[in-house]
């Protein structure tokens, strides 16, 4: 990703030198955000400190910031070790008991990262403390959404309700269609398999399956996605689609009186898929 800075209606847009996926565990991505001057970097949801330390050493970079989306250990496990070595600013959700957070943030708060402002969005559902970070100062706009919105899917409801997650996804999909979506797991092909079961006649989905499989065949990440691509192919944000509703009715006899009902039925189907 090249360094780009431009004036749009008097507002300076920033593009980071690089947003790089650092693989961790079996299918996590720790997103590394490298500053334009290539001296510093930030990471999102470092569940494992080892790959982050290796990235810093390889590229001779100082870790200055950490963004945390929620409290699960595969997103927070590296905080203490990384804090001891680098003393970074660590942003995380308020309220929470995440050890290592230096700056607690909530809906309406803004943070600055290498010259770009990020807004904090509360997106409960997967967990009650889940937040996302969105910047309209970057080109394209940038969203770090943890385990709320996945490529062709969404997170399991470990703590929240279907209504919570439905509203959280609606908040994210209301962002600009070209927003780059950086979630934190390589679940795309499994999600697309379910999406095909729920929405198999969708030509945009069929094209996406082919495109994403080609990336995986080359051992390339399928991420980032975009909001526009999710609106076209992700069944969890297409709960008013007639074909999806028809297939759900063929799956069970649960009442589908609202979009939240459709979402809840999709999530239950996916959980047992």
User: Which residues have C-beta within 8 Å of that of residue 194, sequence separation ≥ 6?
Assistant: 152, 153, 235, 269, 270, 273
* Domain around 185: 5-271
Other Cβ atoms closer than 10 A to 192: 23
The DSSP secondary structure of 59-109, one letter per residue, reads HT-EEEEEE-----HHHHTTHHHHHHHH--EEEEESS---TT-SEEE-TT-
Q: Which pLDDT score, from 0 to 100, does residue 10 have?
A: 54
Q: Which pLDDT score is estimated for 254?
A: 77
Residue-by-residue pLDDT tens, the chain, 273 positions = 333 344 445 555 666 778 999 999 999 999 999 998 889 999 999 999 999 999 999 999 999 999 999 999 999 999 999 999 999 999 999 988 899 999 999 999 999 999 899 999 999 999 999 999 999 999 899 999 999 999 999 999 999 999 999 999 999 999 999 999 999 999 999 999 999 999 999 999 999 999 999 999 999 999 999 999 999 999 999 999 999 999 999 887 678 999 999 999 999 999 999
Q: What is the pLDDT of residue 4?
A: 35
Total domains, the chain: 1
Tell me, what CATH number does 206's domain have?
Answer: 3.60.15.10
pLDDT value at residue 6 = 42
**Which pLDDT score is estimated for 15?**
60
- Read off the tokens for 178: 């070209």
């Amino acid at each position: 990703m090249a360094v780009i800075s431009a004036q749009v209606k008097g507002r300076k847009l920033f593009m980071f030198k690089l947003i790089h996926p650092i693989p961790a565990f079996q299918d996590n991505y720790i997103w590394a955000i490298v500053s334009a001057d290539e001296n510093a970097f930030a990471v999102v949801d470092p569940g494992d400190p080892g790959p982050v330390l290796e990235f810093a050493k390889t590229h001779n970079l100082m870790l200055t910031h950490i963004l945390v989306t929620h409290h699960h250990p595969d997103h927070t496990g590296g905080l203490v070790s990384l804090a001891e070595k680098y003393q970074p600013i660590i942003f995380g959700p308020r309220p929470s008991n995440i050890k290592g957070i230096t700056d607690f943030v909530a809906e309406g708060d803004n943070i600055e990262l290498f010259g770009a402002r990020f807004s904090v969005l509360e997106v409960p559902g997967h967990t009650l403390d889940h937040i996302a970070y969105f910047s309209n100062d970057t080109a394209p706009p940038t969203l770090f959404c943890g385990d709320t919105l996945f490529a062709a899917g969404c997170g399991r409801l470990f703590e929240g309700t279907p209504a919570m997650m439905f509203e959280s996804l609606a908040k994210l999909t209301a962002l600009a269609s070209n927003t780059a979506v950086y979630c934190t797991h390589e679940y795309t092909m499994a999600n697309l398999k379910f999406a095909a079961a729920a929405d198999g006649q969708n030509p945009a989905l069929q094209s996406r399956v082919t495109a994403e499989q080609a990336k995986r065949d080359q051992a390339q990440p399928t991420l980032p996605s975009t909001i526009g691509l999710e609106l076209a192919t992700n069944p969890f944000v297409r709960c008013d689609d007639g074909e999806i509703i028809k297939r759900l009715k063929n799956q069970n006899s649960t009442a589908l009186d609202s979009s939240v009902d459709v979402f809840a039925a999709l999530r239950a189907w996916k959980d047992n898929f």
